[in-house]
């Protein structure tokens, strides 16, 4: 499944009301570790059909970043049944991200 661009307008529908777990990547274009993580996130999105993968550009969606207390990027969050189930900051290998799911 392709990655979903998450915004304030679609976050509730795509993440909080999702029937499957959602991996959310809070990132920015200028962030080096975010760029390193991007292919890992893409691979997870392609390989896993049982989850959704969404990306929040913190520069374009500052209110979402504030709402979820993003202090450093990349920050990964896993939402299950509309609730935050796991959170990790910084680059993570795919195996670690898979364990969060």
CA distance 76 to 33: 12
Question: Which superfamily is assigned to 4-91 in CATH?
Answer: Glutaredoxin (3.40.30.10)
At which residue do the structure tokens 């195996």 appear? 95
The reply to whether 100 belongs to the active site is no
Q: Could you tell me the residue ranges of all domains in the chain?
A: 4-91
34 is catalytic: yes
pLDDT digits (tens, 9 = 90+) for 23-76: 999 999 999 999 999 999 999 999 999 999 999 999 999 999 999 999 999 999
* pLDDT band with cut points at 50, 70 and 90 for residue 1: confident
In degrees rounded to 5, what are phi and psi of residue 61? -130, 60
Q: What distances in angstroms separate CA 40 from CA 17, 21, 45, 91, 97, one per listed residue?
A: 25, 17, 9, 10, 9
Per-residue confidence band for 88, with pLDDT thresholds at 50, 70 and 90: very high
Q: Which among 15, 24, 34, 53 is annotated as catalytic?
A: 34
| Backbone phi, psi, residue 70, to 5° | -75, 115
């Amino acid at each position: 499944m392709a990655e979903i661009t998450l915004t304030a307008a679609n976050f509730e529908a795509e993440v909080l009301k999702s029937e499957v777990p959602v991996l959310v990547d809070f990132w920015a274009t200028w962030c080096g570790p975010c760029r390193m993580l991007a292919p890992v996130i893409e691979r997870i999105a392609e390989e896993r059909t049982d989850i959704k993968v969404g990306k929040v550009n913190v520069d374009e969606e500052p209110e979402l970043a504030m709402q979820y207390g993003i202090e450093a990027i990349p920050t990964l969050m896993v939402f299950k049944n509309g609730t935050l189930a796991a959170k990790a900051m910084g680059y993570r290998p795919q195996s670690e991200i898979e364990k969060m799911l």
